Amino acid sequence: MMVRDEKLTPLAHGAHNRCFGCGPANPGGLHLEFLLSDDNTVVCRATIPDIFEGHPGYLHGGIIATLLDETMSKAVRVRGLTAMTRHIEIDYRRPVPSGAPIRMEGRVVHDEGRKHWVEAWIFADKETALAHGKGLFVEVRPR
């Protein structure tokens, strides 16, 4: 899925956002920063510290799921929508190292009313996919 890096635009986050994945106001969070490519793929380059390990040297599976979930969520958000995870599937292809650069990418693959089907990848480099996620996100509308 790798997109080219030439034209990536940063996504803004609210200063008081306490989201575990992307919130700058969460001192224990991951502080992920997302970018948007020309084809509406979201991209995040990160190095996740070893405090989020499972087995020494590798990220905990729950953190990997969080990274994919957060990336898929942002793929819906760039459309100006607020949506919550309804269902998520994770394919753990290879161990994801802690303390090493990784790249996440996500995009919406299908929409049907309030439902949005999304996928995301974690890469070690341009050719090595470490994990893949698919999810169904449902739009949350104001009451």
Query: Taking the model in full, what pTM does it have?
Result: 0.93
Q: What percent of the chain has pLDDT over 70?
A: 95
User: Which pLDDT belongs to residue 94?
Assistant: 98
**Cα dihedral 142→31→123→100 (10° resolution):** -170
Sign of CA dihedral 94, 98, 99, 105: positive
Residue 2 has pLDDT above 80, yes or no: no
Mean pLDDT taken over the chain:
93
CATH class held by domain 9-139: alpha beta
**pLDDT band, very low/low/confident/very high, at 118 (cuts 50, 70, 90):** very high
**Residue range 69-92, pLDDT digits in tens:** 999 999 999 999 999 999 999 999
Phi, psi of 125 (to 5 degrees): -155, -170
User: Which pLDDT belongs to residue 44?
Assistant: 97
d(CA 49, CA 98): 6
What average pLDDT does the segment 8-24 reach?
84
Range from 26-30, 114-118, 130-134 carrying the lowest mean pLDDT: 26-30
CA 92 to chain centre: 15
